[in-house]
Amino acid sequence: MLNIHCPCCGVTAEETEFHAHGEAHLKRFGPGSTDDQFESYLFMRKNPKGVHFERWRHQNGCGKWFHVARCTMTLEVFGSYSAQTYVPPQDIIDKIQHRRPDWSAEAPAP
């Protein structure tokens, strides 16, 4: 069972206080988007073996959403950060690159 840090209230607690909500940094496509764009936004989720960015909610705590960067293989956690951002912050990227020299960040959607 994972141990998760909530950057909003500062609490580090076991997974039972939290709820995972899937991939982070999705770009919403609404009316006017093409079928491909909409399909990709709604259904196409990354499922990497390795570094992944996820949305979590501190459900039995402060109730806030935040993002976690972690390795889906080893469950290593690189860090938690604000949900109010379109791309992972540089310090998180740096931490991942330090731990996973082979990993490179894809060009994230604006």
Partner 1 sequence: MSTRLATPGRLTDQSKPLNFSFNGKTMRGYAGDTLASALLANDQMLVGRSFKYHRPRGIVASGPEEPNALVNLGEEGRFEPNQRVTTTELFEGLTAASQNHWPTLEFDVGAINKHLSRFLPAGFYYKMFMYPRAFWKHVYEPVIRHSAGLGKAPKARDEDTYEHFYSFCDVLVVGGGVAGLQAALTAARAGARVILFEQSDHWGGRAPVDGGIINGGPVDQYVEETLAALKSMDNVEMRLRIMGAGVYDHGYALGYERLSDHTPGAAGPRHRLWRVRAAQIITATGAIERPLSFAGNDIPGVMLASAVRDYVVNYGVSIGDRTVVVTNNDNAYLTAIALKHAGLDVPVILDARVLPEDRGLVEQAKALGIRVMMGHAISSVKGGKRVTGVNICAQAGEGAVLEEIACDAVAMSGGWSPVVHLWSHCGGKLRWDTTHACFSPDVDNPPKGADGMGFVTPAGAASGMFALDDVLHDAHAAAEGVVTCLDMKLPKGVSAPVAERREESPMAAVWMMPQGASAKLREKSWLDYQNDVKVSDVRLAAQEGFVSVEHAKRYTTLGMATDQGKLSNINGLATLAGAMDKDIPSVGTTTFRPPYHPISLASIAGEAKDHVFQPIRRTPLQDWHDANGAEYEPVGHWRRPYAFKRGSETTHDAVMREVTNTREKLGLLDASTLGKLIVKGPDAGKFLDMMYTNMMSTLKPGKCRYGLMCNENGFLIDDGVVARIDEDTWLCHTTTGGAETIHAHMEEWLQTEWWDWQVYVANVTEQYAQVAVVGPNARKALEKLGGMDVSKEALGFMEWVDGTLGGFNVRIYRISFSGELSYEIAVDASHGRAFWDALMAVGADLGAMPYGTECLHILRAEKGFIMIGDETDGTVIPQDLGLGWAISKKKEDYLGKRAQERSHMTDPNRWKLVGLETVDGSTLPDGAYAVAEGTNENGQRNTQGRVTSTYHSPTLGKGIAMGLIHNGPDRMGEVVTFPGTDGKDYKAKIVNPVFYDADGEKQNV
Partner 2 sequence: MSEPMTALKGASDTSGIATVTELGPRGMITLRGDLTAKPVVKAAVAAGGVTLPERGHCATEGKGGIAWMSPDELLILCDYATVSDRIADLHSKLAKHHALAVNVSDARAVFQVTGPYAREVIAKLAPVDMHPDQFNGTMFRRTRIAQVPAAFWMPDGDTVQIICFRSVAQYVFDVLNMAAQDGSEVGVF
The footprint of partner 1 (CB under 8 A) covers 1-3, 14, 21, 28-33, 35, 38, 42, 55, 57, 59, 63-65, 71, 74-77, 83-84, 99
Distance in angstroms (rounded) separating the CA atoms of residues 53 and 104: 13
Q: How far is the CB of 58 from partner 2 (least distance, A)?
A: 8
Name the binder of 17 from partner 1, partner 2, none, CB < 5-8 A by kind. partner 2
Which residues in 49-68 are b (16+ Cβ under 10 Å) and which e?
eebbbbbbbbeeeeeebbbb
Are 12 and 5 in contact, with CB atoms under 8 Å apart?
Answer: yes
Name the binder of 105 from partner 1, partner 2, none, CB < 5-8 A by kind. none
Point out which span in 26-34, 37-45, 60-68, 85-93 binds partner 2 (CB under 8 A). 60-68
Look-up of token digits 């982070």: 24
* Residues 4-43, mask of contacts with partner 2 (x by CB under 8 A): ----xxxx-xx-xx--------------------------
Distance in angstroms (rounded) separating the CA atoms of residues 42 and 77: 26
| 2 interacts with partner 2 by CB under 8 A | no
- CB-based contacts of 14: which residues, under 8 Å, 6+ apart? 1, 2, 3, 4
